[in-house]
């Protein structure tokens, strides 16, 4: 009797362990910033190409960079472009492909969810730990008429290696020389104050659960969780709310002078309507693909993503790529090779 | 001793006496089957040895860049700066020690009390079922405790406990600072919950190992149940109980998920229990898959190595102490 | 001290220790109760049969994670059991001088190693060289965690087999290896199975070592050399997310996980009860 049970269990397990369906599984990892739209895309693309299965784990941009460099995944995703040193560590050239534009917002948890305004220096000083209370005169000064409580600001930042962090500190470095000197930029920095949350999910979760909290997250996360977002004063001196339009406005200038490798920073962009903390987010793939079938699927997906995929951006509060950028991406996709031959044949 | 009996044709194999240690001849096995089994078994033991040695070696290898870059300063630097590539283990060692000690503070009285109850004072019908329940508490996965910690414990601390503590004991630096809910206090409490069943289970076994003669002697002298326990059992099993506590400590030091979910993830040494902190296990869990530079990864592996060394030492001590009670009992019997 | 005072102390201490015991068991009720309360609502057929939905969309389930955990645990058992049982047999039967001592010591060391450290090792050995996260790497990590438990239980159980059985078999002329494999092991089998179940219950809930080995997967597993979803991983990811629906699913997942662990623990207990009286 016992042997029968044991035998059956082994059989069932063995059967379960068989691959569910003969499909090519493409593994990717990286940024949590675009995770909502990536997961939508992968879901939709499975309908376009039922043979393709994209498994994406949002472990943070740092993780994306690390895992694609180690080749343990087929593609990476990051919102902080790889530095030259990081690119050198990769065994073969990696290319950045922009996918969408997003905004990193300051979100908070205060009674009544007032609409707050922040100036760059106030934000920097809050994150430097110099402003510690909500009713600090400098915050009150920028927000006349709003009753701010006499409560400590519970700052929440990322505990993992994050492109969202990169975008945020890139902005802070541009607007605050003290930040630039003391902390600097990176996907993981030495935060002067604050709690750490894992992923955009973790930070928005913390902010949502902690009265008096202030954190930075991608716009979609704040809105989906009904958290308020602050307006920030941009380079032109106007207080701008993060929306799809203002994000797109931030990219307007950069689109014209896009470098060939797409690594560009959009923070503190010029322009009246530009939201100051916007950024592209990129997929990282090897220019020379190691596997032909996977390479073909990836290339086809990239093409779909930069054309048909863009119409899903709006709903999820990301801004679609400017048309010039899409044209440039087409050229780059055609450069992806397998063993020297372009994967994308005649298109 | 030559074995006159041929291979596998029957007759007892010499040298196989199991009951007395002095007649242990080490004759070569008579037949192929025995030899094969001997090789296979030795191989299994050797693989175990290889595994553990290999593990330490592999980690040492990966940690080398950090060891070479920082040397001993790793142990007393408290900066953790991935941008400047300056790493020091102090905040994590501090966090691990403080959260574990806090956990022990809560868990030891409870655990020992429960062990005494289950081994000595509880009514007989209750002993087995309760012991099983304690086992179940130990069996709950860490991530489930973490889940409970985020959604039940942290809000509780944030809304009720921390403000109350701050108002009454706020003059002590231990209880100062804004009530985040998550932080060292939450981590300590969750660790206590996770560690207490270990202390209870091992403590109970230690107490059960104390020979009955001790109890009977005390009872014969007219002691009450509690006095019997105190005089005869506890004193006898003292080292074993300390061992049980150390085992609990060993468990607390290495606990990862539940702590990561409630400690606040801030690499900083702070005096207050309300402040967020970071432990060695948590920083590895959070940052390992994302350490973008070799030095960063090596620093994390070095922290893992540190954790390994500390837990091995603590557990080693613990085992020694626990065995000493059992060993003394065996010696007394023979 | 007067007799009445001593009696008072006796009662007081009994009460205090009883209280302690109650407090030790209390979290079980609190956690389990909370899980039931929060999780039961999210438990529906869909939970057990569907895959996770895209971020932010309501619905979906953890079917792949449940199956993933089962697969990972089975893999760990396949890798860890043979080595563990043989190791335990060696420790119980060998007459070598130093190796048993070293092996036993190292098994104890391994038992105390935090699972996250084992995860680091498994990443270096089973993920990096093969350039992929995989179910096998996850199973490997879990097997290492299982190993010391299985070794120790097997050794204890084999030692407990009465020498009279062994001596009788040997007196009949059965070679030693047959005695061990055909008589000693089967006798100890029930206890060993218990040890295995305890190890399985422990390993099913492990999250940390899977973080950098199994990696997680939104879909059904694609083969043992591919990333795979696991229940604890999924619970962790959902728990720290801001989506209420995911929180609910995390509770449900935790309920399922704790249910699996408890059932196995209970079964292990039932198997041992009455089998070896006077063993403990």
Of A160, A196, A209, the CB nearest to B266: A196
CB < 8 Å from C in window 277-296 of B: 281, 284-285, 288-289
CB < 8 Å from B in window 118-177 of C: 118-121, 123-125, 144, 147, 151, 163, 166-167, 170-171, 173, 175-177
Contact list, C123 vs chain B (CB under 8 Å):
288
Interval B224-239 mean pLDDT: 83
Suggest the residue from C59, C242, C275 to mutate for an interface test with chain A (most A CBs closer than 10 A).
C242
Describe the crossing of helices C115-122 and B32-70 by its angle, rounded to 10 degrees. 90
**pLDDT score of B52 more than 60:** yes
What domains can you pick out in chain B, each with its CATH number?
A: 70-333 (1.10.3720.10)
Q: Are C239 and C35 in contact (CB under 8 A)?
A: no
A154/B182 touch (CB, cutoff 8 Å), yes or no: no
- Rounded to 5°, the CA angle A91-A97-A100 comes to 145
**Predicted confidence band of residue A3 (pLDDT cuts 50, 70, 90):** low
Instruction: Specify the 3-state DSSP secondary structure of A52.
Output: strand
Q: Tens digits of per-residue pLDDT, C77-134?
A: 999 999 999 999 899 888 888 888 889 888 888 888 999 999 999 998 988 888 888 8
Q: What percent of chain A has pLDDT over 70?
A: 93
Instruction: Specify the 3-state DSSP secondary structure of A281.
Output: strand
Task: Report the pLDDT value the prediction gives residue A98, as an integer from 0 to 100.
Answer: 92
Instruction: Specify the 3-state DSSP secondary structure of B291.
Output: coil
Distances (CA, A) of C104 to C97, C132, C147, C180: 12, 33, 12, 20
Q: Does the structural domain C62-274 have CATH classification 1.10.3720.10? A: yes
Tokens of B304: 């893992």
The burial of A40, by beta-carbon neighbours within 10 Å (0-12 exposed, 13-18 middle, 19 or more buried), is given as: buried
The burial of B23, by beta-carbon neighbours within 10 Å (0-12 exposed, 13-18 middle, 19 or more buried), is given as: exposed
Please tell me the distance in Å from C222's CA to the nearest CA on chain B. 22
Suggest the residue from B87, B256, B260, B290 to mutate for an interface test with chain A (most A CBs closer than 10 A).
B290
Task: Report the pLDDT value the prediction gives residue C278, as an integer from 0 to 100.
Answer: 37
Query: Is residue C216 left, alpha or beta, with left meaning phi > 0 and alpha meaning psi from -120 to 50?
Result: left
CB < 8 Å from A in window 268-297 of B: 276, 278, 286-287, 289-294, 296-297
Task: Report the pLDDT value the prediction gives residue B23, as an integer from 0 to 100.
Answer: 36
Q: What percent of chain B has pLDDT over 90?
A: 25
* C-alpha A238: how far from chain center: 25
Contact list, C237 vs chain A (CB under 8 Å):
201
Mean pLDDT for chain C overall: 85
Q: Are A189 and B83 in contact (CB under 8 A)?
A: yes
Tokens of A32: 């949590």
Please state whether beta strands A213-218 and A94-108 pair in parallel, antiparallel, or not at all (unpaired): antiparallel
**pLDDT score of B112 more than 70:** yes
The CB density around residue B26, as the number of other CB atoms within 10 Å, is 9
A66/B264 touch (CB, cutoff 8 Å), yes or no: no
Q: Is B134 on the interface with C (CB under 8 A)?
A: yes
User: Which of A36, A165, B294, A102 has its CA nearest to residue C242?
Assistant: A36
CB < 8 Å from C in window 221-280 of B: 224-227, 229, 250, 253-257, 261
Q: How far apart are CA A327 and CA A255, in angstroms?
A: 11
Q: Are A187 and A165 in contact (CB under 8 A)?
A: yes
Task: Report the pLDDT value the prediction gives residue C147, as an integer from 0 to 100.
Answer: 93
In the block, tokens 């030559």 appear at B2
Residue A106 β-bridge partners: A216
**Predicted confidence band of residue B110 (pLDDT cuts 50, 70, 90):** very high
Q: Are C134 and C227 in contact (CB under 8 A)?
A: yes
User: Which of B189, A72, B310 has its CA nearest to residue C212?
Assistant: A72
Please tell me the distance in Å from A16's CA to the nearest CA on chain C. 7
Please state whether beta strands B80-81 and A154-158 pair in parallel, antiparallel, or not at all (unpaired): unpaired
Torsion angle (degrees, nearest 10) of CA A97, A100, A106, A108: -120
Q: How far apart are CA A169 and CA A154, in angstroms?
A: 18
User: Which of C239, C261, C267, C265 has its CA nearest to residue C252?
Assistant: C239
Q: Tens digits of per-residue pLDDT, B125-169?
A: 988 888 888 888 888 899 999 989 988 898 888 888 888 888 888
Q: Is C270 on the interface with B (CB under 8 A)?
A: no
Q: How far apart are CA B139 and CA B157, in angstroms?
A: 25
C221/A17 touch (CB, cutoff 8 Å), yes or no: yes
* Per-residue DSSP letter, B80: E
Q: Are C153 and C86 in contact (CB under 8 A)?
A: no
Q: Tens digits of per-residue pLDDT, C28-67?
A: 888 888 888 888 877 777 788 888 877 767 777 888 888 8
Q: Are A66 and A38 in contact (CB under 8 A)?
A: no
Q: How far apart are CA C232 and CA C70, in angstroms?
A: 12
* Residue, of B44 and C47, whose pLDDT is higher: B44
In the block, tokens 């503590």 appear at B165
Interval B105-134 mean pLDDT: 89
In the block, tokens 């989506």 appear at C243
- A60: nearest CA in chain B? B290
The CB density around residue B202, as the number of other CB atoms within 10 Å, is 22
* C-alpha C20: how far from chain center: 27
Q: How far apart are CA C17 and CA C8, in angstroms?
A: 14
Instruction: Specify the 3-state DSSP secondary structure of C132.
Output: coil
Q: Are B295 and B69 in contact (CB under 8 A)?
A: yes
Task: Report the pLDDT value the prediction gives residue C60, as an integer from 0 to 100.
Answer: 77
* Cα R_g (chain B), whole angstroms: 26
Residue A152 β-bridge partners: A133
**Predicted confidence band of residue B4 (pLDDT cuts 50, 70, 90):** very low
Tokens of B223: 């002691």
Task: Report the pLDDT value the prediction gives residue C105, as an integer from 0 to 100.
Answer: 86
Q: How far apart are CA C141 and CA C150, in angstroms?
A: 15
The burial of A347, by beta-carbon neighbours within 10 Å (0-12 exposed, 13-18 middle, 19 or more buried), is given as: exposed
- B276: nearest CA in chain A? A195
User: Which of B129, B127, B103 has its CA nearest to residue B199?
Assistant: B103
Q: How far apart are CA C180 and CA C139, in angstroms?
A: 29
Q: How far apart are CA C159 and CA C154, in angstroms?
A: 8
Q: Tens digits of per-residue pLDDT, B201-218?
A: 888 888 888 888 888 888
**Predicted confidence band of residue A2 (pLDDT cuts 50, 70, 90):** low
CB < 8 Å from B in window 72-91 of C: 83, 86-87, 89-91
Task: Report the pLDDT value the prediction gives residue B323, as an integer from 0 to 100.
Answer: 73
In the block, tokens 């409560």 appear at A151
Q: How far apart are CA A239 and CA A250, in angstroms?
A: 14
Task: Report the pLDDT value the prediction gives residue A16, as an integer from 0 to 100.
Answer: 59
**Predicted confidence band of residue A155 (pLDDT cuts 50, 70, 90):** very high
In the block, tokens 């979100």 appear at A107
User: Which of C128, C124, C88 has its CA nearest to residue B55?
Assistant: C124
Instruction: Specify the 3-state DSSP secondary structure of A295.
Output: helix
The burial of C137, by beta-carbon neighbours within 10 Å (0-12 exposed, 13-18 middle, 19 or more buried), is given as: buried
Q: How far apart are CA A173 and CA A120, in angstroms?
A: 10
Q: How far apart are CA A213 and CA B306, in angstroms?
A: 34
Q: Are B210 and B237 in contact (CB under 8 A)?
A: yes
User: Which of C277, C273, C53 has its CA nearest to residue C160?
Assistant: C277
Q: Tens digits of per-residue pLDDT, A203-247?
A: 888 888 888 999 999 888 888 888 999 999 998 889 999 988 888
Q: Is C36 on the interface with B (CB under 8 A)?
A: no
Q: Are A244 and A229 in contact (CB under 8 A)?
A: no
ipTM of the complex: 0.84
Instruction: Specify the 3-state DSSP secondary structure of B262.
Output: helix
Q: How far apart are CA C119 and CA C126, in angstroms?
A: 10
- Sign of the Cα pseudo-torsion (B251, B256, B262, B267, in order): positive
All structural domains of chain C with their residue ranges = 62-274
**Predicted confidence band of residue B78 (pLDDT cuts 50, 70, 90):** confident
CA atoms within 13 A on the CB side of A184: 11
DSSP string, A92-157: S-EEEEEEEEEEEEEEE--TT----EE-HHHHHHHHHTS--BTT-HHHHHHSTT----S-B-EEEE
Q: Tens digits of per-residue pLDDT, A14-46?
A: 665 555 444 578 899 988 888 888 988 998 898
Distances (CA, A) of B281 to A237, A276, B287, C113, C234: 45, 37, 10, 11, 20
Interval B55-63 mean pLDDT: 92
Q: Look up the pTM and report it.
A: 0.83
Distances (CA, A) of A311 to A213, A324, B6: 34, 16, 83
* Per-residue DSSP letter, C57: -
Query: Is residue C48 left, alpha or beta, with left meaning phi > 0 and alpha meaning psi from -120 to 50?
Result: alpha
Tokens of C210: 């899977």
Q: How far apart are CA B115 and CA B106, in angstroms?
A: 15
DSSP string, B118-133: IIIIS-HHHHHHHHHH
């Amino acid at each position: 009797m016992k042997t029968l049970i044991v035998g059956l269990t082994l059989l069932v397990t063995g059967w379960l362990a068989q691959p569910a369906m003969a499909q090519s599984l493409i593994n990717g990892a990286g940024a949590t910033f675009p995770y909502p739209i990536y997961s939508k895309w992968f879901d939709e693309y499975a309908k376009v190409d039922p043979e393709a299965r994209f498994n994406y784990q949002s472990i943070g941009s740092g993780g994306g960079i690390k895992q694609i460099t180690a080749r343990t995944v087929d593609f990476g995703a990051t919102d902080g472009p790889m530095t030259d040193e990081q690119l050198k560590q990769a065994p073969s050239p990696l290319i950045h492909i922009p996918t969408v534009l997003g905004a990193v917002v300051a979100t908070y948890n205060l009674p009544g969810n007032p609409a707050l305004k922040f100036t760059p220096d106030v934000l920097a000083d809050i994150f430097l730990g110099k402003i510690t209370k909500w009713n600090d005169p400098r915050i009150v000064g920028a927000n006349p008429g709003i009753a701010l409580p006499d409560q400590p600001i519970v700052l929440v930042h990322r505990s993992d290696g994050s492109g969202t962090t990169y975008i945020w500190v890139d902005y802070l470095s541009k607007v605050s020389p003290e930040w630039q000197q003391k902390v600097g930029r990176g996907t993981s920095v030495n935060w002067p104050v604050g709690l750490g949350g894992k992923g955009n999910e973790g930070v928005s979760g913390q902010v949502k659960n902690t009265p008096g909290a202030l954190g930075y997250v991608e716009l979609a996360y704040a809105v989906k969780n009904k958290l308020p977002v602050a307006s920030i004063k941009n380079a032109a001196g106007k207080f701008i709310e993060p929306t799809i339009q203002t994000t797109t406005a931030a990219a307007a200038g950069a689109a014209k002078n896009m470098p060939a490798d797409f690594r560009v920073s959009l923070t503190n962009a010029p322009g009246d309507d530009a939201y100051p903390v916007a950024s592209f987010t990129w997929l990282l793939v090897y220019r020379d693909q190691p596997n032909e079938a996977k390479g073909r699927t990836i290339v086809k997906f990239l093409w779909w993503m930069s054309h048909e995929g863009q119409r899903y951006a709006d709903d999820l509060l990301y801004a679609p790529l400017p048309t010039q950028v899409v044209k440039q991406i087409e050229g780059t996709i055609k450069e992806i090779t397998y063993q020297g031959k372009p994967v994308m044949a005649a298109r | 001793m030559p074995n006159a009996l041929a291979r596998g044709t029957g007759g007892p194999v010499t040298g196989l006496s199991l009951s007395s240690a002095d007649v242990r001849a080490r004759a070569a096995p008579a037949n192929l089957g025995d030899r094969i089994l001997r090789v296979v078994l030795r191989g299994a033991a050797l693989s175990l040895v290889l595994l553990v040695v290999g593990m330490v070696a592999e980690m040492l290898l990966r940690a080398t860049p950090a060891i070479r870059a920082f040397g001993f300063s790793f142990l007393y630097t408290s900066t953790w700066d991935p941008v400047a590539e300056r790493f020091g283990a102090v905040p994590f060692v501090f966090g691990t020690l403080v959260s574990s000690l806090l956990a022990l503070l809560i868990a030891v009285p409870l655990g020992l009390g429960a062990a005494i109850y289950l081994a000595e004072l509880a009514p007989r019908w209750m002993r087995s079922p309760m012991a099983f329940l304690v086992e179940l508490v130990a069996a709950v996965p860490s991530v489930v405790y973490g889940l409970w910690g985020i959604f039940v414990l942290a809000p509780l601390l944030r809304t009720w406990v921390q403000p109350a503590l701050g108002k009454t004991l706020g003059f002590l630096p231990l209880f100062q600072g804004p009530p985040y809910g998550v932080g060292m206090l939450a981590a300590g409490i969750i660790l206590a919950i996770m560690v207490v069943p270990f202390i209870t289970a091992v403590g109970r076994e230690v107490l059960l190992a104390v020979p009955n003669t001790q109890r009977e002697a005390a009872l014969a002298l007219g002691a009450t149940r509690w006095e019997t326990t105190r005089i005869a059992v506890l004193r006898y099993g003292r080292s074993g109980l300390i061992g049980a506590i150390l085992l609990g400590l060993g468990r607390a030091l290495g606990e990862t998920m539940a702590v990561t979910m409630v400690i606040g993830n801030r690499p900083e040494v702070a005096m207050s229990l309300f402040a967020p902190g970071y432990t060695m296990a948590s920083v590895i869990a959070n940052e390992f898959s994302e350490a973008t530079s070799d030095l960063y990864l090596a620093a994390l592996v070095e922290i893992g190595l540190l954790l390994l060394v500390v837990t091995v030492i603590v557990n080693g001590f613990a085992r020694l102490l626990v065995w000493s009670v059992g060993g003394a009992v065996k010696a007394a019997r023979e | 001290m007067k007799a009445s005072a001593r009696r008072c102390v006796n009662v007081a201490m009994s009460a205090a220790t009883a209280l302690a015991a109650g407090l030790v068991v209390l979290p079980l009720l609190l956690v389990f109760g909370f899980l039931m309360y929060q999780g039961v609502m999210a438990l529906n057929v869909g939970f057990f049969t569907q895959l996770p939905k895209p971020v932010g969309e309501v619905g979906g389930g953890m079917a792949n994670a449940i199956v993933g955990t089962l697969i990972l645990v089975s893999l760990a058992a396949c890798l860890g059991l043979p080595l563990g049982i043989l190791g335990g047999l060696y420790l119980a039967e060998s007459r070598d001088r130093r190796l048993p001592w070293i092996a036993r010591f190292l098994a104890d060391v391994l038992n105390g190693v935090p699972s996250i450290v084992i995860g680091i090792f498994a990443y270096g050995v089973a993920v990096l060289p093969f350039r992929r996260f995989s179910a096998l790497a996850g199973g490997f990590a879990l097997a290492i965690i299982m190993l010391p438990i299985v070794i120790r239980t097997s050794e204890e159980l084999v030692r407990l087999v009465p020498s009279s059985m062994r001596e009788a078999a040997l007196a009949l002329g059965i070679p030693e290896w047959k005695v061990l494999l055909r008589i000693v092991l089967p006798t100890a089998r029930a206890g060993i199975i218990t040890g295995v179940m305890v190890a399985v219950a422990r390993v099913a809930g492990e999250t940390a070592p899977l973080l950098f080995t199994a990696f997680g997967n939104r879909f059904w597993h694609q083969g043992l050399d591919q990333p795979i979803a696991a229940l604890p991983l999924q619970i962790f990811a959902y728990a720290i997310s801001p989506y209420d629906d995911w929180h609910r699913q995390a509770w449900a997942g935790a309920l399922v996980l704790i249910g699996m662990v408890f059932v196995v623990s209970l079964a292990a207990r039932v198997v041992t009860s009455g089998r070896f009286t006077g063993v403990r």
